[in-house]
Amino acid sequence: MRKAVFWVVAGLALLWNGFGLYDLYMTLTVNQDYLAQFPPEMMAMIEAFPEWRRLLWTTSVFLGVIAAILLLLRRPMAERVFWATAAAMAAGFFGYDLPFGNGIEAYGTFGLVFSVILIAVQALLALYARWAARHGLLG
């Protein structure tokens, strides 16, 4: 049963982070149909991102995908990469978006809550990877 749950969690982790990659691509390529669902304040904040913030966002998305792939490949390093993903996301959100990027207005209540959930999911996946390693599912 543990193995079946492991594969479900690993597959969901890849889907979750794969959607993050899709979101990044659609946003950075300025797909108007996709971006129409977001508030104009959020789009203005993203457009005003300094290049380092855009790079941090891109890095966190790719780290999440890499971590999920490492989990699927049953590599213990997945835990560290999930932690790095959560840290990069938190650094962007709490280190720039909220204090300097007008994040509170740009995100709105839903966006603020969802951003915290995004970070929490990566942390939970890191904890799951640790648990899986301790129970012989990784390595």
Chain segment 39-48, per-residue pLDDT in tens: 999 999 999 9
Q: Is residue 32 part of a domain?
A: yes
| Count of structural domains, the chain | 1
Residue 84 lies in a domain: yes
Residue carrying the six token digits 């977001």: 38
pLDDT digits (tens, 9 = 90+) for 74-112: 999 999 999 999 999 999 999 999 999 989 999 999 999
Alpha-carbon distance of 131 to 78, in angstroms, equals: 11
Structural domain range at position 38 = 2-134
Is residue 139 assigned to a domain?
A: no
User: Quick check: 103 and 97 in contact, CB under 8 A?
Assistant: yes
**30 located within any domain:** yes
pTM of the predicted model, to two decimals? 0.94
Q: What percent of the chain has pLDDT over 90?
A: 96
What average pLDDT does this structure show over 19-34?
96
Q: Does the structure show a pLDDT above 90 at 1?
A: no
Domain for residue 98, yes or no? yes
Q: Is residue 26 part of a domain?
A: yes
